[in-house]
Amino acid sequence: MPYEYRDHTGEAWLVAWDRTVEGAFAEGAKALFDLMVDLEKVEPKVAVEIAVEAETLEDLFFEWLNALIVQKDSEGLVFSRFDVRIEQRGKDGDGGYALRAKAWGEPYDPDKHGSKVDVKAATYAGLACEETPEGWRVGCVVDI
């Protein structure tokens, strides 16, 4: 499991990692949904495309998680599989970043998926996206 939860009063702090930044973003999304439902029971029946942009990779991770939460809240979908692509914008990457992703899941069914906690939003608290000797690590505190 390439993600974990850290102690944080009244909230949940998720941290995820992978050898690529795209993989770390995908693992962060899995951690997000694993907080809410039994992730192993979410089947990849429906695909949704998600696009977000931001000036920094940290802000991009924040926007990514919140876009997924919007899909959960507005469309009633939960996801378990993610294909993430991140591109630098501008000549020398000075135009920020663009994320294009596909998320696979299905409509939320409490009898099938269970119910853990309801994540309302990603926050800027603990927000991180950094390259390490082992790869990339992302994280943030989410409001539950």
Tens of pLDDT, residues 8-57: 566 899 999 999 999 999 999 999 999 999 999 999 999 999 999 999 99
Stated as kind and residue range, the H or E segment containing 110 is: helix 110-113
Residue 119: pLDDT band (50, 70, 90) is: very high
Residue 85's SS3 state is strand
Percent of the chain with pLDDT over 90: 86
All structural domains of the chain: 3-143 (3.55.10.10)
**d(Cα 66, Cα 42) in Å, to the nearest integer?**
19
